[in-house]
Amino acid sequence: MKVGGTIRVPGDKSISHRALIFAALAEGASRIRDILPSADVHSTATVLGALGVPVPPLSTDITIAGRGPRGLTAPTGDLDCGNSGTTTRLLAGVAAALPFTSRFVGDASLSRRPMRRIAKPLREMGATVDVAPADGLPMTVSGGHLHGITWRSETASAQVKSAILLAGLVAGVEVTVHEPARSRDHTERILTALGATVDVLGATVRLAPRDRLAPLHMRVPADPSSAAFLAALAALATQGELALPDVCLNPTRTGFYAALARMGANLTLEHGEPQGGEPVGTVVARPSSLVAIDLGRDDVPSMIDELPLIACLAARAAGTTTIRGAEELRVKESDRIATVVANLRAVGVNADELPDGMCIEGSERPLRGRVQTHGDHRIAMAFGVLRALPNSEIAIDDTTCVAVSYPGFWDDIARAVVS
Ligand code: S3P
């Protein structure tokens, strides 16, 4: 299989959510270019609309009239977050500081995902938060009159950290979050760009009280989590080269590329001009012979969303790959440890679940079988890369779920393969 060409993958999902939220909380007109027009980002736009800040259709150049940190208004109905954990957890942080009641709902997958991890700190700040008995949604947040906190988070989660930072920002109180390891830092970067004082020391972040936010002017870089699928395809090819320009190369997000290089991939990251406060560059990926690696707890935060893809690459790498310290995968859009291992086995790969990860035995056997995505976009795309290989006969039960983060994924995969 030969790959070729230059593909600019769509805008970063994490940054797109934050750009909308901060534009709504800023004062005056914010302009966002190259936002990701995906289902998850659409959920954030819809919820902001329900909170009194209309967001235009997600096109390459949008302007949003911000209402100021405390300008959001009470919703008249439920806030439907669809499949999006980031929408729910970040906007629950905002809602916790506002003097009204908001009820968050979502699809079946989101309704099962843990919300106590944000309910606990938001309650400690003074909000009333009711989470569904089994944890998850529906979740009702009644806010207002918060006080500052210092919170020690049990998991390295940018969503938990951002919920607390947003609650502190909207309430105008000081907050400090300690994490066991540093999670992605897009919230801190945007806050700093908008004039807030954010102190970062190791895995601890402190936000000083702030009354106003300047409008946001940003171009959203391409998503490294989406580019990862195309880089993986190039690594598994036998000829050619794929260039992926404009990719966000924030070090809290590039763990996948470091791991792929450790697996022996012929990969270069060419740094360019920073964009919107984020390091950006071109990823060039070429065919390689891959070898197995061991990944542990320290590797996980900067590649958490790419671990299903690493597992699929491991199926084609010489030796046995082990992933540990990744129990967070069990509470993503699906239980990604169970889903990945079951699907690898379904296509003929020897793989085993571990409580906190998995083992995958690489082989050159043709891959044949049926993949069940459980509606999880990253499972569909990771196995979509294996499906594109010559001799693969893989059926994927739901190809439409890629719309959550990468609506043009199947077209881009087809474009990347030149023969
Ligand atoms: C995200 C944080 C991560 C990641 C998710 C997006 C964010 O989740 O898996 O896809 O935008 O803050 P956790 O905070 O649960 O680790």
**158 Cα–ligand 1 center, Å:** 6
- Specify the number of domains making up the chain: 2
344, 394: one domain: yes
Question: Residue 304 in 3-state DSSP?
Answer: helix
Atom number, ligand 1, closest to the C-alpha of residue 155 = 16
Residue 298, by phi and psi: left (phi above 0), alpha (psi -120 to 50) or beta?
alpha
Q: Which of 219, 252, 273 marks a domain boundary?
A: 219
Ligand 1 pocket mutation pick from 14, 186, 223 by most atoms within 8 angstroms of CB: 14
Of 361, 382, 319, 332, whose CA–CA distance to 89 is shortest?
A: 332
Neighbouring C-beta atoms of residue 1, cutoff 10 Å: 18
**88 Cα–ligand 1 center, Å:** 11
Q: How far does CA 402 lie from the centroid of its chain? A: 13
The whole-number pLDDT of residue 374 equals 98
The whole-number pLDDT of residue 276 equals 83
Q: What is the mean pLDDT of residues 125-134?
A: 97
Relative to beta strand 239-240, strand 2-3 is parallel
**50 Cα–ligand 1 center, Å:** 23
Q: Cα(12)–Cα(15) distance, rounded to whole angstroms?
A: 5
The whole-number pLDDT of residue 75 equals 98
Q: Per-residue confidence at 144, pLDDT binned at 50, 70, 90?
A: confident
Four-point Cα dihedral 33, 36, 40, 46, nearest 10: 30
Q: Residue with the nearest Cα to atom 10 of ligand 1? A: 305
Tell whether 385 is covered by a domain: yes
- Write out residues with Cβ below 6 Å of ligand 1: 14, 86, 157-159, 162, 183-184, 304-305
Q: What is the mean pLDDT of residues 253-259?
A: 98
The sheet with strand 294-295 has its strands ordered as 294-295, 320-323, 357-361, 351-354
Catalytic residues: 305
The whole-number pLDDT of residue 152 equals 98
Express each pLDDT in 158-172 by its tens digit: 999 999 999 999 999
The sheet with strand 61-67 has its strands ordered as 61-67, 27-33, 217-219
The whole-number pLDDT of residue 184 equals 98
User: Mean pLDDT for the chain?
Assistant: 98
Tell whether 136 is covered by a domain: yes
The whole-number pLDDT of residue 138 equals 98
Percent of the chain with pLDDT over 90: 99
Tell whether 281 is covered by a domain: yes
Q: What is the mean pLDDT of residues 344-371?
A: 98
Whether residue 83 contacts residue 106, with contact meaning beta carbons closer than 8 Å, is answered with yes
Q: What is the mean pLDDT of residues 174-203?
A: 97
How many Å from the N-terminal Cα to the C-terminal Cα in the chain? 6
Percent of the chain with pLDDT over 70: 100
**159 Cα–ligand 1 center, Å:** 5
Q: Per-residue confidence at 66, pLDDT binned at 50, 70, 90?
A: very high
Say whether pLDDT at 224 is over 80. Answer: yes
Q: Identify the CATH number of the domain in which residue 127 sits.
A: 3.65.10.10
Ligand 1 pocket mutation pick from 184, 187, 225, 307 by most atoms within 8 angstroms of CB: 184
Say whether pLDDT at 384 is over 90. Answer: yes
Atom number, ligand 1, closest to the C-alpha of residue 160 = 14
The whole-number pLDDT of residue 115 equals 98
362, 267: one domain: yes
Say whether pLDDT at 419 is over 80. Answer: no
Atom number, ligand 1, closest to the C-alpha of residue 17 = 11
Tell whether 338 is covered by a domain: yes
**68 Cα–ligand 1 center, Å:** 25
Beta bridge partners of 80: 105
**123 Cα–ligand 1 center, Å:** 21
Question: Residue 300 in 3-state DSSP?
Answer: coil
The residue type found at 348 is G
Atom number, ligand 1, closest to the C-alpha of residue 18 = 11
Q: What is the mean pLDDT of residues 377-386?
A: 98
- From the number of C-beta atoms within 10 Å of its C-beta (0-12, 13-18, 19+), residue 294 rates as middle
The whole-number pLDDT of residue 252 equals 98
Q: Per-residue confidence at 351, pLDDT binned at 50, 70, 90?
A: very high
Q: What is the mean pLDDT of residues 265-280?
A: 95
The whole-number pLDDT of residue 149 equals 98
Tell whether 3 is covered by a domain: no
Express each pLDDT in 88-110 by its tens digit: 999 999 999 999 999 999 999 99
Express each pLDDT in 385-401 by its tens digit: 999 999 999 999 999 99
Q: Residue with the nearest Cα to atom 9 of ligand 1? A: 305
167, 53: one domain: yes
167, 261: one domain: no
Q: Cα(318)–Cα(175) distance, rounded to whole angstroms?
A: 47
The whole-number pLDDT of residue 183 equals 98
Tell whether 373 is covered by a domain: yes
215, 225: one domain: no
208, 230: one domain: no
Lookup result for tokens 């099962």: 112
- Burial readout 383-408 (b: 16 or more C-beta within 10 A, e: otherwise): bbbbbbbeebebebeebebbbbbbbb
The whole-number pLDDT of residue 92 equals 98
Atom number, ligand 1, closest to the C-alpha of residue 14 = 11
Q: Per-residue confidence at 319, pLDDT binned at 50, 70, 90?
A: very high
Residue 296, domain extent: 221-418
